[in-house]
Structure 1
């Protein structure tokens, strides 16, 4: 990682260890609809972008209910549980290491911007980042445009940047930006799903970066 001048962090599942509260939040909704519940392992196999596709995979029928209302229901459940999640311990170590190495650090997240700012403030990590970038809605949509905006605003060169993420969409973002990418299989998707992207750097946890 020494060769990189800038690190772009995904938030959910990469910096923030929130898989468990995500599964609890969706299971509350599945139970209400008498649909099969998920384990963390089965969740990692079905979670995908766009998020609406994942909801349909686990049994939601948007011919019978409204997607907008369903998304708001999840956010209400998730927000209630968010204080129970924390940053991965190894992520805190890496934030310090990268800061001491003089790297610029950014958050590029599909979390709604207000929630993202509040969460990073509560976890006392805002000072590590040159910019924190979320989206303007609750639907966990694409991060590609926001990533391009970061590149343009800070005149980042693709060869100097590494994106750290935990989903196939993070790899799509990195491909669009032309930068390097590490995918971490301790977040929202399984090692096998990440491997199917063709990404050359798939690791089991951020500890693997610490030991490089």
Structure 2
């Protein structure tokens, strides 16, 4: 059954920034004197939300290096480099399919709204979305609240909506909102971790149309 609304995550779902985020983490660790380094597979096993908890799993000691300081340094490296990130495999095709199918689309992101808006515009994607739902700061704390507020204000039946994301946090957000959820294993967390949520997991967004048709 096709949903009436697709709620897209951005980073790692539509924007292919996984390798960059992995590199930024390793550079942040090195720059602060930590010995830990993570390859792509290991990165996908530790990444998650809240971001503070992810930083602790990565090895940071906030008594030595406060989270806010680390986040500022991380973003100073990430933002200019992210201009070179493309879209995840099948992303544009999935967006076009949804648009042609008459499905309303929004992005719900942990990113700061001005950053999200710029990244979407740089990739000529604005025409696909009715709304861009981002955060007021860089600390990625309020995705559930943002999504719930949007559904309440828009009057959309959560049961008719589907969230597409790449992390267990996206599943938690979908559950809190009362929407369906499909997770994509091409992003920031491993397929094994995503499958623990008990919702459909696809390999790339190329598989999304068929997945939604079968639900």
Shorter-chain TM-score: which interval?
A: over 0.9
How far, CA to CA, are the matches of 2:2 and 2:113 in structure 1?
Answer: 30
Q: State yes or no: 1:6 paired with 2:5.
A: yes
1:17 maps to which residue?
16
Matches within 5 A, 1:83-162: 83-162=83-162
Q: Could you tell me whether the CA contact under 8 Å between 2:93 and 2:206 is conserved in 1?
A: no
For the residue of structure 2 that corresponds to 1:17, the secondary structure is coil
Structure 1 counterpart of 2:51: 51
**Over aligned residue pairs, what C-alpha RMSD do you find?**
1.2
Alignment partner, residue 203 of structure 1: 202
User: Displacement, 1:211?
Assistant: 4.2
Show the counterpart of 1:71: 71
**In 1, Cα distance between equivalents of 2:100 and 2:202:** 23
Cα drift, residue 80 of structure 1: 2.2
Distance 1:25 1:211 in 2: 35
Cα distance between partner residues in 1 of 2:58 and 2:148: 32
Query: What are structure 2's unaligned runs of at least 5 residues?
Result: none
Tell me if the contact between 2:7 and 2:161 (Cα under 8 Å) persists in the aligned partners.
yes
How far apart are the structure 2 equivalents of 1:62 and 1:161? 38
What is the DSSP-based 3-state SS (H/G/I as helix, E as strand, rest coil) of the residue aligned with 1:21?
helix
TM-score w.r.t. structure 1 length? 0.95
Could you tell me the TM-score, scaled by structure 2's length? Answer: 0.94
Tell me the alpha carbon deviations over residues 96-120 of structure 1, each in whole angstroms, 9 at most, x when there is no partner.
1111111110000001111111100
Q: Distance in 1 between matches of 2:143 and 2:34?
A: 33
Is the 8 Å Cα contact of residues 34 and 60 (structure 2) preserved in structure 1?
no
Determine the C-alpha separation between the residues in 2 that align with 1:205 and 1:59.
Answer: 30
**What SS does structure 2 have at the residue aligned with 1:186?**
coil
d(CA) in 2 for partners of 1:167 and 1:88?
15
Output the CA distance in 1 between the equivalents of 2:187 and 2:126.
21
Give the drift of 1:67.
1.2
Cα distance in 1, alignment partners of residues 68 and 203 from structure 2: 34
Query: What CA deviation, in whole Å up to 9, does each residue of 1:14-40 have, x standing for no partner?
Result: 011100110111111112223221111
**Alpha-carbon deviations, 1:128-166, whole Å to 9, x = none?**
101000001111113111111221222111221010000
Aligned length: 210
Secondary structure, counterpart of 2:7 in structure 1: strand
